[in-house]
């Protein structure tokens, strides 16, 4: 008997695991060449993935790294989708935006003059 492992299309798995809102969006990210499976760049949405495969792809401003745990049979609720993968992504802490010295909103003319004076080199 052959020990064939269960596989599923890459774009379909990314959609079922709820990383992308539509399967078309998942396919477009794969076609753009932004997805790696086991460190190999993949450009075909029909590429077959199965249990144990590592997938690296961009999502928003982060790069996600996940390992396929299960292929899945449907796009169920989020709690079910989280069981399809093991997340190995290292999330970076968001850097808070610096607060402007003049408070909220746009600086006044007086604030701009003060800022301009503070950045000019001293006269010799």
Domains, in order of start, for the chain = 1-124 (3.10.290.10)
Q: Do the beta carbons of residue 36 and residue 55 sit within 8 Å?
A: yes
The predicted pLDDT at position 64 comes to: 92
Contact 65, 83 (CB under 8 A): no
Task: Lowest mean pLDDT of 4-13, 79-88, 101-110, 113-122, name the range.
Answer: 113-122
More confident site: 12 or 99: 12
pLDDT range class, residue 25, cuts 50, 70, 90: very high
The residue assigned the tokens 């077959």 is 48
State the average pLDDT for the chain: 85
29-33, 96-100, 110-114: least confident range: 96-100
| Chain position carrying tokens 């969006």 | 25
| pLDDT score recorded for residue 119 | 59
Q: What DSSP state is assigned to residue 20?
A: S
Taking 70 as the threshold, does the pLDDT of residue 122 lie above it? no
At residue 40 the predicted structure's pLDDT band, cuts being 50, 70 and 90, is very high
pTM higher than 0.85 for the full model?
no
What mean pLDDT comes out for the span 68-93? 90
- The arithmetic mean of pLDDT across residues 34-62, rounded, is 93
């Amino acid at each position: 008997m052959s020990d064939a492992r269960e596989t599923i299309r890459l774009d379909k798995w990314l959609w079922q695991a709820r990383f992308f809102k539509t399967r078309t969006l998942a396919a477009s990210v794969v076609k753009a060449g932004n997805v790696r499976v086991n460190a190999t760049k993949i450009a075909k949405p029909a590429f077959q993935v199965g249990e144990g495969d590592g997938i690296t792809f961009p999502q928003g401003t982060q790069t996600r790294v996940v390992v396929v745990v299960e292929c899945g049979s449907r796009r169920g609720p989020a709690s079910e989708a989280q069981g399809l993968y093991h997340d190995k992504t290292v999330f970076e802490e968001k850097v808070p935006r610096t607060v402007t010295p003049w408070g909220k909103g746009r600086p006044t003319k007086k604030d701009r003059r003060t800022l301009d004076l503070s950045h000019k080199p001293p006269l010799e």
